[in-house]
Amino acid sequence: MKIALFATCIVDAMYPRTAQATVAILERLGHEVVFPAGQACCGQMHVNSGYFKEARTVVANHVEAFDTDDYDVAVAPSGSCVASVKHQHELVARRCGDTALEARAAVVGAKTYELSQLLTDVLGVTNAAEQLGSHFPHKVTYHPSCHGMRLLRLEDRQLNLLASVGGIEMVELPEADQCCGFGGTFSMKNADVSSAMMEDKAANICGTGAELCSGGDASCLMHIGGGLSRQGSEVGTLHFAEILASTLENPVTVTGEVKLAGSKR
Amino acid sequence: MSSNTFLGMPSLPVFGHGNLNATEAFPKAAHRELGNEQLRANLGHATHTIRDKRLKVVAELPDWEDMRNAGAAIKDATMANLPALLEQFEENFTARGGIIHWARDAQEANEIVTALIRETGETEVVKVKSMATQEIGLNEYLEEQGIAAYETDLAELIVQLDHDKPSHILVPAIHKNRSQVRDIFLREMPVVDPLLTDEPAKLAEAARRHLRKKFLSAKVAVSGANFGLADTGTLTVVESEGNGRMCLTLPETLITVMGIEKLLPTWEDLEVFMQLLPRSSTGERMNPYTSLWTGVTPGDGPQNVHLVMLDNGRTAALADEMGRTALNCIRCSACMNVCPVYERTGGHAYGSTYPGPIGAILSPLLTGIKSEENNSLPYASSLCGACFDACPVKINIPEILVHLRGEDVDSKRAKVKVPTQMDLMMKGAEWAFSGGAKLNLLERGLPLGKLAAGRDKVIKKLPGIAGGWTQSRDIPAPPSQSFRQWWAKEHKPGAAVVPGNTAEDAGNGSEGEQP
Amino acid sequence: MSAREDIMNRIKSALRDAPATPVVPREYRRTSDMTAAQRLEQLVDRLVDYKANVFLTPAGEAPARLAELLAGSASIVVPHGLPESWISGLENDGGTPAVHVDSPEHRLTTAELDAVDAVVTAAAVAVSETGTIMLDGGDDQGRRIISLVPDRHICFLNVDQIVEVLPEAIARLEASRPQTWISGPSATSDIELERVEGVHGPRTLDVVILT
């Protein structure tokens, strides 16, 4: 299968290893990965901030980059960016009265998948240890991001993939379904409330005794990880794609912000 | 009579007035409320209790989603046919001896109710909890006119005795815990057992004693209504304590204030809404009491039955094609009970009578986005979507929030002004995200960010609005190259391992020691 | 222009886009597939959950049951259409408690109602799934006020009046009659959202189901 990677802007610029891990997993399964060079961002920051006019430019760019027959399916390692592509793009086009863009956005949306959706529903991955050789001998908890959970209805796809990684110890996160408080520009416009939500999430994560918290959205993980870092916590965050990409032979090194709790003791 | 009188066709939209406005921006109000630890503890306890109850009773029904689908369709159909349904309701209610009055806005509604009370010669009324009368500020208005309005719902009573404001549409005193309630009762009730404990059952009993005489002697009651059934002209009040029954049954005169959007087309539709509402609001299979009346029943209940049909901005909300489904709201409060923002700030931070997610859309729809500080309300959400999942009539609150943010941004574009930091950020991002090559150009500056991060490998303080981020969160130092740079230079198809898995190239932020 | 016309015009103007009227999907359960015994069991379970007192009584033993429930009561009120046989046990007991009959010819005052110990009524229909008893002002149920002011409500129900789901009850009820739907004794969740029984309505609800 020929799979087009939508890296998403935040992963492209800040967390390249998440995209590299996505490529590694897909190639390990024998698929060809392409990277449409014109891609930039899904535009949800603009949409969610009410800047529809500006969003249209960004959406049009995404559609231009991905509206081609050059691949079978597109994938992104982000629930919220995929939700934007699938649910918001048509809306933006409609609001701006651009029916041509609306139609093309629908086509692109229909063949775009979130990574765990693609792995589980299309590529039939049910056991990461066996099918991907995934190995990650650490104690991990998991935060399901809101848009993956409520807009894409990913249910336990990411969690099940993580649980099937060799050597991993998963611990349940209390109040996992509660928003971490990121919310895009909400984290700046309503910084106090956002921080209060993050603090409760961080406390729940720390309470599990996990070495790190995994999830499927780099933006939420940056927010949670940034809060944990500020609090001086040793607990880090790591995208599930990187955990799936980790193998016994090539373990993912967890460094810096995601240094493992107690690893230096 | 009203401040809004028209000679020809009204020009739309005509917005509402009353207790619908935030008077300070939400972030500022939220900042203050967040500082109240008692409030946060009370709200956390109450919202978690009700969430669990709701989930349990909703899970009991195999056809909950079918019911939600029916509820949403019934309300959509109601709005689409509102003029005909209002006429049908009016005809049926009037045929049974009820009298209908129409009020364009809060002021007109208050004047009508006052005149009706004056006709009875009474100077006291008992009230059943009603959002519509809260919205129009009826109690305050009546007080100015020398009429005392006694709230009889326990939570409303607590709020009224404490000279406070409601903070929740179902449980207006949700921000008070039991010991605070006891203190209010001891302080404000004229006759009260000084040994009153903070047991909820004892507090409820104290409320019973306090109001009993009022109920038995009241001549006039004012109520709201949960539903009006067009094909029969029936009104409905859903309650728990029996204070509603007292007000709806004992007095000679009953004055009900109801928003024009509260109609359901048919009697049969009640079978959907009386399943959706109790389970969504108090998390009960059914609320203890529901009263239904159709005009006047000779010999049974009030013989003077009035209904004030209220617009107050509802037609303005209806005119907003993207936002009109907010009028489908049945005031269950499930959205605020599951909202992580409401849970932390409480209802007062929203300013309006309608707090929480529904308030963040309904208030600006009723008043117009440009009214006072209501333009900050649509931003009072992380767009997590919990409200949409909980809504019994499937109002897509996150989508309407985003729509209203767009209205806010566009309304400001029209004015010539210096762009805000947010405007500039969005413009800059529009440019950067309008092509892969442009983003690439920008990403080539990433090593600079790394430099800015310094020895700690994290960025701890950013200027301007981005400073909101760094008030509680670090930002990781950016990687030395972006994914697209790596792809162009280093990707080897079929490598199947995560490349660059070294400290230098680890993309997850500040690179620490090598393992 | 009147306020009514004004508002109607505003609405019509707001609906200038002529939104479609959706067909209402009524795929929820509208009839029961439970047996009568299951409905009875479910109703009892729900009522007990609401802290109502429930008594299953063979129809012939209704008078005895009522006499037992009212032992020690000084006075009660009944609607004029209540089956006489139900209160016959009381009269045989020497007329204690005093039975006040509320009728269109003789309506009790609020103060009189406040002075009685209990009210005894029949019901129109009951919904087992939600534990709800519906009163529609029939002659055996009386005016709304009589089942409200007394602090104890004893409600008789025939087993064939029990339906499972709300739509079945809606079909049996006539909208224009004044109705009170009762699910347990009066209660409130207004303090910390915890339900406690006993506020302004009757604080005791006894349900006698005639089998």
Can you tell me the distance from the alpha carbon of A86 to that of A66, in angstroms, rounded to the nearest whole number? 13
Q: Give the phi and the psi of residue C155 in degrees, each rounded to 5.
A: -115, 125
pLDDT of residue B457: 79
pLDDT digits (tens, 9 = 90+) for B326-369: 999 999 999 999 999 999 999 999 999 999 999 999 999 999 99
pLDDT of residue A262: 35
Residue of A nearest to B478 (CA): A14
**Domain assignment of residue B353, yes or no:** no
Point out the domain boundary residue: B286, B315, B344. B315
Q: Is the pLDDT of residue B167 over 70?
A: yes
List chain A residues with CB under 8 Å of B430: 46, 51, 54-55, 57-58
B46 class by beta-carbon count within 10 Å (0-12 exposed, 13-18 middle, 19+ buried) = buried
Neighbors of chain C with 3 or more C-beta pairs under 8 Å: B
Helix (H) or strand (E) holding B217: helix B200-217
Per-residue pLDDT tens, chain A, 265 aa: give them. 999 999 999 999 999 999 999 999 999 999 999 999 999 999 999 999 999 999 999 999 999 999 999 999 999 999 999 999 999 999 999 999 999 999 999 999 999 999 999 999 999 999 999 999 999 999 999 999 999 999 999 999 999 999 999 999 999 999 999 999 999 999 999 999 999 999 999 999 999 999 999 999 999 999 999 999 999 999 999 999 999 999 999 888 765 444 343 333 2
**Domain assignment of residue B380, yes or no:** no
Q: Check if the beta carbon of residue B90 is closer than 8 Å to that of residue B295.
A: no
The chain-wide mean pLDDT, for chain B, equals 92
**Domain assignment of residue C75, yes or no:** yes
Tell me which residues of chain B, numbers 120 to 139, contact chain C at a CB-CB cutoff of 8 Å. none
pLDDT of residue B496: 77
pLDDT of residue C88: 84
Can you tell me the distance from the alpha carbon of B504 to that of B511, in angstroms, rounded to the nearest whole number? 7
Helix, strand or coil, per DSSP, at residue B144: helix
- The DSSP symbol for B99 reads E
pLDDT digits (tens, 9 = 90+) for B219-236: 999 999 999 999 999 999
pLDDT digits (tens, 9 = 90+) for B93-140: 999 999 999 999 999 999 999 999 999 999 999 999 999 999 999 999
Query: Which two tokens mark A144?
Result: 């399901």
pLDDT of residue C195: 84
Q: Where are the domains of chain A?
A: 2-121, 127-258
**Domain assignment of residue B363, yes or no:** no
List chain B residues with CB under 8 Å of C169: 271
Q: Check if the beta carbon of residue C204 is closer than 8 Å to that of residue C153.
A: yes
Whether residues B498 and A21 touch (CB distance < 8 A) is answered with: yes
Q: Are residue B440 and residue B299 in the same domain, yes or no?
A: no
Tell me which residues of chain B, numbers 34 to 73, contact chain C at a CB-CB cutoff of 8 Å. 42, 45-47, 49-50, 53, 62-63, 66-67, 69-70, 73
Whether residues A191 and B27 touch (CB distance < 8 A) is answered with: yes
Q: Check if the beta carbon of residue C203 is closer than 8 Å to that of residue C197.
A: yes
Can you tell me the distance from the alpha carbon of C110 to that of A247, in angstroms, rounded to the nearest whole number? 81
Whether residues A256 and B475 touch (CB distance < 8 A) is answered with: no
Beta strands in B109-230 (DSSP E): 124-127, 148-151, 220-223, 227-229
For residues B507 and B314, which has the higher predicted lDDT (pLDDT)? B314
Q: Is the pLDDT of residue B4 over 60?
A: no
List chain A residues with CB under 8 Å of B388: 150
Whether residues B434 and A229 touch (CB distance < 8 A) is answered with: no
Q: Which residues of B120-148 are buried (b: 16+ CB within 10 A; e: fewer)?
A: eebeebbbbbbbbbbbbbbbebbeeeebe
Tell me which residues of chain B, numbers 363 to 422, contact chain C at a CB-CB cutoff of 8 Å. none
Structural domain of residue C160, as residue ranges? 33-210
Helix (H) or strand (E) holding A102: helix A99-110
Mutate to test the interface with A, among B55, B382, B470, B482 (most CBs of A within 10 A): B382
Furthest-apart CA atoms within chain B: distance in Å: 90
**Domain assignment of residue B330, yes or no:** no
Mean pLDDT of B143-147: 97
CATH of A127-258, one of 3.40.640.10, 3.30.43.10, 3.90.380.10, 3.40.50.1860: 3.40.50.1860
Point out the domain boundary residue: B315, B341, B371. B315
Residue of B nearest to C19 (CA): B80
The verdict on A234 touching B (C-beta cutoff 8 Å) is no
Fold match flag (A2-121 vs A127-258): yes
Can you tell me the distance from the alpha carbon of B131 to that of A229, in angstroms, rounded to the nearest whole number? 45
**Domain assignment of residue B204, yes or no:** yes
**Domain assignment of residue C95, yes or no:** yes
**Domain assignment of residue B387, yes or no:** no
Structural domain of residue B477, as residue ranges? 422-489
pLDDT of residue B419: 87
Can you tell me the distance from the alpha carbon of B496 to that of A20, in angstroms, rounded to the nearest whole number? 9
pLDDT of residue B23: 86
Closest CA to A15 of A217, A198, A181, A159: A217
Q: Per-residue confidence at C91, pLDDT binned at 50, 70, 90?
A: low
CA distances from C134 to A105, C125, C131, C172, C182 (A): 53, 5, 10, 10, 6
Q: Is the pLDDT of residue C205 over 70?
A: yes
Residue type, C8: M
Q: Per-residue confidence at B6, pLDDT binned at 50, 70, 90?
A: very low
Of A12, A54, A191, the CB nearest to B482: A12
Closest CA to B174 of B31, B39, B62, B35: B39
Helix, strand or coil, per DSSP, at residue B345: helix
Percent of residues, chain B, with pLDDT higher than 70:
94
Examine residue C97 and say whether the peptide bond preceding it is cis (omega within 30 degrees of 0): yes
| Domain A2-121 class in CATH | alpha beta
Of A151, A195, A226, the CB nearest to B385: A151
Per the structure, the count of domains in chain B is 2
List chain C residues with CB under 8 Å of B299: 104, 107, 143
pLDDT digits (tens, 9 = 90+) for B180-215: 999 999 999 999 999 999 999 999 999 999 999 999
Per the structure, the count of domains in chain C is 1
In this structure, of A31-45, B162-176, C156-170, the range with the lowest mean pLDDT score is B162-176
Of A7, A197, A245, the CB nearest to B498: A245
A and C in touch (3+ CB pairs within 8 angstroms): no
Closest CA to A62 of A33, A41, A90: A41
